[in-house]
Each structure stands twice: as C-alpha cells, then as structure tokens.
Amino acid sequence: MNLSINNFLKSGLLLLTALIFITCKKENHTIGLDSGNRLDASTLKIDTFTVTTSVFISNNIISSQADSVFLCGAYTDPEFGIVSAETYTQLRLKNEFVELDNAIADSAILYIDYGRSYADTINHYAYGDTTQSQILNIYALDGAISSTDTYYTDSSPISYSTLLTSTTVRAYPNSGYPMAIKINSLAAKAYLQNIIQGPKRNIPFMSQFKGLAIIPGDANGALLRMNRFSVNSYLRIFYTIPGNSNPIPYDLVFDSGTRRFHRITSNRGSSPLSGLPSEYYAEKNTADLNHKCYVQAGTGILTKISFPYLSNFLSSVGNINIHNATLQIIPMGSTTAYPIIKDFILVEDSTNNRFKNVNSNYLSTIQVDGSVQSGYLYPLQTLPDPTTNIYSFVISDYIQALYLKKKVQNSLLLYPGAKNYNGTYANNYNVSSVDRVVFGDNANPSNPMKLIIYYTSVK
C-alpha cells in the first residue's frame, strides 16, 4: 500500500513538473537530468516560443521570364487594396509575304485565351470577382519592348498614346472560349490600315509596329491570367478589297518570336496595409498591423519570421531527442472569395530581408523532413489541412540541425510557391499569380502563429 502511494506521489510529481514546464512562458529553459543514460518515458511539448514577425516588400520579380502567359485586369481586395496588372506585348505576322494591294481595313478582334491554374488541368486562373464586368483599354505602343532587357513586375511602363478601344468585358475563364475584344474605332481603323499596308516581313514589321498595351480601366472585376501561346490567342484584322464586300481575315500572333511583360501594382492607401513602407525591404512589425501577417504572390509582399529565444533554449536544454518541430500558421478571413497560396517555401534571410543563396542557382531553403537541409527550391508545405485550415510546416530536421550546431540560425522569409498539376514546381507562379494569404502573428488572439517542439531528454 505504501509502495502504491509512493508510486502515485512520484507519478503525480512528474506530471506536475511536466505541466509546469509545458505551460511556462519563459524561453531560457534548463531541464534537470537524473543520473544514468536513459530515455525519459514522457515526451515534453513546448508551444510558448516567442515568434516575431514583420511584413515587407521585395523586388526583383522577373516578369518577362513567364513568357507563355501574362496578367491583365484589376480587383479590389479588402486586405491588400487595389491590385492591378497591365500587359505590354509585341505582335508578329502569322504569314509573311502576303500582299494586300488595295485592301481596306474594316475592324479587328483581339482574341486572348485564358491561362490555366497551376494545380489542375481543368480550371483557368482568375483572381477577384468574375461575375462583374470590367473595363479593358487597348493601346498601340509608341515605345519598343527591348529584345535584350529583363523586365520586372515593377519595370517602367512602355509609352503608349493611341487608344484603339475601351471596352467593357466580363471574364468567363472556364467557358472554353477565349476573351474576344472588338476593335473598330476610327483611330483603330487608321492603325489597322497602316498594318495591312505595312511591311510584309516580321523584322521590319515589328520595328514599325511596336505592339499593344492592355490596361485595366477600373478595379471592379478580376485579375486574369491569359495564355498568349494558345492557338486561340491572336489579333484578327478584317479587311475588304474592291469588288468583294465580304471581310477577309488577316492574323497577327503572339508566338515565341515576340516578347511581353506585365506590371503588377497595388494601391494600398485605403487598406489595412496603408502603413506598409513602399521602400523595398523596409519592414513593418506585425504588432502595428493589428497582429496580422501578409504574403502575396506578384506584388512581392512577404513575411519575415524569427525565433529570438530559440537558440537560448537549444543551448541550455541539455541532451535531447527532437521528435517533432512544427511551425503552425492559421489563415484568416475568407479563403473562398480570395483563394490562398498553394504552397509556401521557407527561405533563410541573409541580411536586411534578402534571400540567402547557396549558390547562383539555388536559394537556401528549409526543407521538408528527410531532405538535405540546404540548396534546393522545393515547396515545404501544400494547402492547409482541410479539417483544421492550418499550415503545418514540419521542420524537425531543421531544428535538430540548429541544436547540433550544423546550421546557423537566421530569420526565415515566407515565400509563395505552387506545384503544377503533375507535381513539379511551378517556376513562374510568383510572377503569374496574385494569390495571397493573411494569417495571425504570435500575439494574434484568435489565430496565433506557433512553433511547437516535442522532444525527450536523454540521459
């Protein structure tokens, strides 16, 4: 009986000690160890680590590399403000050496096919409200798109002045049909007439006719991904000839011989992000953003994550086995009206919110458990768990590497990513998408971010 009571008291004391340790807010932990080398029966859990976060804008998002698609349109986001994309693209003759003597330009239709979402082979990409009509303005370019320059999402616009059409359209991205924009203004007819009377070889033609600018005229609809390499994307000019009143088609195309880029801008003036510095890499603590964190593809808005007291814990905890380390992030707001980022990549910060590179080809990313802890641009986490709506970044190997001093601890930058429908990494996702997510920081009362570590002490 006394033995049972003693065992009960010992068990109760161990349980009380574990509970006190688990709920302790202090980060500089020291665990007392008994003599002898053994694995404790109980696994300890700590989920009270301080996690500091800040939001900033990065740059160097190369727009011209996403060659097969472009973005156009605009929408109003309750968290990110007005997000807008405008496209500048060249055109080529579909067929060279076609003589059009006495041809008279009548009108034209710009057909642009919708671009697919990365994650599947059925749906096409649109972000915003496709049930609303929106205005698109089509201009003739005055300035030339360079054949050698690299263009970014924040590059200066190419100059334009001649408005060919301003039209109200509604997007039907999954209809199976391309968007069709009719061009028949007086200014457009003069421009089209110059085209059909212009050079009949592509090099001189593209030198004379610089291309088109597609500029949103409002922010009431959606931002669209368009597939310029589709056989359904082209500018079809209709002309007539004397003695034949039936319109004859003459096509210009967007093919691999043309260049394009799109700009992505955002007006955050009336949004919760109005206080975010516009200077690149200048950060804003999330305590000043109502304890919310923000990440968005395309605009370069990222979140930096730091664990200021983790090194104190790892250096003072003694001999341990780390069984699991998970960074939990809980999205906030509607994920239906504003679909969230498909995958995240955790990239180490070098200095001042810049990505750390392993070499010229690879970022220093935090890998999924079981992978080499350096050097590959590999998505760490897919969509949140459908039952809990939580991103769970399992980074046990990374924490273990810090504990064993095989890595130096840096802040982590949360970078948007996605996989293609076949599971490969979508290299152009960050430039051809405006997917976003809002989530709570460590002090958010309803959706707190947490670093959770399970471990046992080894004797």
Overall average pLDDT of the 37-43 stretch: 55
Q: Per mean pLDDT, which range of 12-21, 283-292, 386-395, 447-456 is the poorest?
A: 12-21
| Mean pLDDT, residues 255-272 taken together | 93
pLDDT digits (tens, 9 = 90+) for 326-365: 999 999 887 677 888 877 888 899 988 998 887 766 778 7
DSSP letters for 21-54:
HHH---SS------SS--B-SSPEEE-----EEE
Q: Report the percentage of the chain scoring pLDDT > 90.
A: 63
Helices and strands, number each (H, E), in the chain: 5, 24
Instruction: Taking residues 93-109, report their average pLDDT.
Output: 94
Asked if residue 32 has pLDDT above 60, the reply is no
Q: Residue 208 burial by CB count (10 A; 0-12/13-18/19+): exposed, middle or buried?
A: exposed
Q: Which residue has the tokens 């395309």?
A: 298
Q: Cβ(252)–Cβ(234) under 8 Å?
A: yes
- Amino acid code (one letter) for 38: R
For residue 21, the tally of other CB atoms under 10 A from its CB is 14
Q: Three-state DSSP class for 265?
A: strand
Structure confidence by residue, pLDDT tens digits, 42-66: 789 999 999 999 999 998 788 886 6
Residue 170: pLDDT over 80: yes
User: What pLDDT shows up at residue 37?
Assistant: 36
Per-residue pLDDT tens over the stretch 411-453: 999 988 776 656 666 667 788 889 999 999 999 999 999 999 9
Question: What is residue 27's predicted lDDT score, i.e. its pLDDT?
Answer: 38
Q: Are strands 343-348 and 126-128 parallel, antiparallel or unpaired?
A: unpaired
* Residue 309 burial (10 A CB sphere; 0-12, 13-18, 19+): middle
Q: Which residue has the higher pLDDT, 200 or 390?
A: 200
Query: Mean pLDDT over residues 143-152, rounded?
Result: 94
pLDDT of residue 4: 41
pLDDT higher than 80, residue 115? yes
Does residue 198 register a pLDDT over 60? yes
User: Do 169 and 181 contact (CB within 8 A), yes or no?
Assistant: yes
**Residue 25 pLDDT > 90, yes or no?**
no
The structure tokens listed for 422 are 């076949």
**pLDDT score recorded for residue 362:** 73
Of the pLDDT bands very low, low, confident and very high (cuts 50, 70, 90), residue 135 is very high
Classified as helix, coil or strand, 240 is strand
CA-closest candidate to residue 229, choices 432, 458, 453: 432
Do residues 53 and 292 make contact, with C-beta atoms less than 8 angstroms apart?
no
> Residues 282, 276: contact at Cβ < 8 Å?
no
Mean pLDDT over the full length of the chain: 85
Q: What is the pLDDT of residue 118?
A: 67
The helix/strand/coil state of 314 is: helix
> 178 with 111: CB under 8 angstroms?
yes
Over range 375-380, report the average pLDDT.
47
For residue 408, pLDDT over 50 is answered with yes
- Residue 119's pLDDT is 61
Calpha distance 173→441 (Å, rounded) = 35
- Check residue 410 and give its pLDDT: 93
What pLDDT, on a 0 to 100 scale, did the predictor assign at position 274?
A: 95
> DSSP secondary-structure letter at 398?
H
Contact present, 214 and 138 (Cβ < 8 Å): yes
- Is 322 in contact with 396 (CB distance < 8 Å)? yes
Sign of the dihedral defined by the CA atoms of residues 271, 276, 277, 278, in that order: negative
Nearest CA to 110 out of 16, 188, 11, 12 is that of 188
Higher pLDDT, 366 or 157: 157
Give the whole-number percent of the chain exceeding pLDDT 70. Answer: 82
Query: Which pLDDT tens digit goes with each residue over 309-322?
Result: 999 999 999 999 99
Sequence-ordered list of residues with C-beta below 8 angstroms from that of 448, at least 6 positions apart, any chain: 330, 440, 441, 442
Average pLDDT over every residue of 376-401: 72
Structure tokens, 143: 């300035």
SS3 call for 399 = helix
Residue 66 confidence (pLDDT): 67
